[in-house]
Amino acid sequence: MPRLAAILVVLLPPLLLLSTVGAEAPRGGFGFVATLRHVDANAGYTKAQLLSRAILRSRARVATLQSLATLAPGDAITAARILVRASDGEYLMDMGIGTPPKFYSAILDTGSDLIWTQCAPCLLCVDQPTPYFDPTQSSTYRALGCSSSGCNALYYPLCYQKTCVYQYFYGDSANTAGVLANETFTFGTDTTRVTVPSIAFGCGNLNAGSLANGSGMVGFGRGSLSLVSQLGSPRFSYCLTSFLSPVPSRLYFGAYATLNSTNASTSGPVQSTPFVVNPALPTMYFLNMTGISVGGYRLPIDPAVFAINDTDGTGGTIIDSGTTITYLAEPAYSVVRAAFVAQIKLPLLNVTDDTAVLDTCFKWPPPPRRSLTLPQVVLHFDGADMELPLQNYMLVDPVSGGLCLAMATSSDGSIIGSFQHQNFHVLYDLENSLLSFVPAPCNLI
C-alpha cells in the first residue's frame, strides 16, 4: 500500500585573520555565523504576494541558469552577462566592507562567484538601502593590477591605466562594471565576528537592474573569486526557515559549519551525497540525482534524465539557494505530474495562463467533511534520500487559488530549489566534495 502523508497544508590560499572577537570558534579554527534575511522580509507583503514574487523570480533565474550550458566553449563575454542575470537571489547576508567597516546586505548566491557592491562615485547606480561604499574613506582599499591573480580569474578582464576593470553584463547594457580591488571584510554576528584582509571584490561604478533590497552580491560558488574559495575554509552550511516566516535563517561558515549539533534524534540520520563536477559549469553545485518516489512508489524515470550531457555540459541537477521552487527536466516532470494526478482525489485545474509557473494544481479547498491524503515525495540521490515534508512540496497558489505542486517543468536540466530544502540543515563540504543534510527546526537553531 502506498505510504501517504496526512494533509497539513499551510499557506503555504588561506587568509590571515586580523582579529576575531566574541565567541571562541569551535575546534578546527576559523569560522563565523551569519544571519540570512529573505529579500522580501519586512516589506509588508501578504503571504500570497510573497509566494507570487518568489515564483516569478524563480522562473527568471532558471531561464538564466539554463542558458549558461548552451554557450560555445570559451565564450567568456556571454558567460559574464548570464552570470549577472542569474544574481537575483532569495537571501541577503550582512557583511562589513573597509576600515573602518561600513555594513551592507548582499545577495547570497551559490550559483556565482564574484563579490561586489556599488561604489562612489557612482556614474550609474540602482536603488539600495545603504549609501554607496566610498573607497576613499577606507584605509585598506587597494585596486588590483592587471596582472594580478584576481584579475586573471575574471571571465572577461579589462585593463585601464594599469588597473583591473571587471564588466558583468545584463543583456545589452552594463549590469555592474568597475574596479576589481582588495579590501578588508567583516563577517558574522556579534559573538562570532571576524575581520579578514585582502578579499578581492568588485567596486561597481556602473550598475543596472535590481538588487532585491540589497547592496550587492556575495558569490558562494566553486570558482576562485567566491567567498568560499577566498577564505580558504571550504565548508559552509545553512538552515533556511520558510520564506513565509518572519524568523530569519542562519549561515554557518568554516569551523561552525557542522551538522553534529543538529538534533536528528527524531528526524533521521545525516545523509550525504557527492558533488558532481560539470566542466562546462564548474562554479555550480551539481548532484547525482537518481530518481523520485511519490506515494511510496519509485517512479519509472531513467536516471539519465538527471545526468549531465558529457558532450556539451547541458542537463544535470543543481542545488541552488537562489531558486525558490524545484524545476525538473521535462521527462521527469511529466511522470511526477502524472503520479500526483493519479493519487490525489481532487479535480485537476486547467491552468491556461501562459505566465503561470505552477501547472499541477487541484481544486481547493476540498468538499466539506471529506478527508484527504497527499502522497509522500522522496528525492533520491547517490547515497542519500531527501524525504520532503508536505509543506516543502505543496502550496496554495496565489494565482489559481488551487493546491499546487511546488515544482515546474524545465527544458534543460533540473534545479533543486530552496522551497524544497527549507527546514533542512544543509552542509556544503568542498574539501570532501559532499553535500550533507538533515531535517531541522531552522527557526530554533
Residues with catalytic roles: 109, 320
C-alpha grid cell, residue 319: 542545488
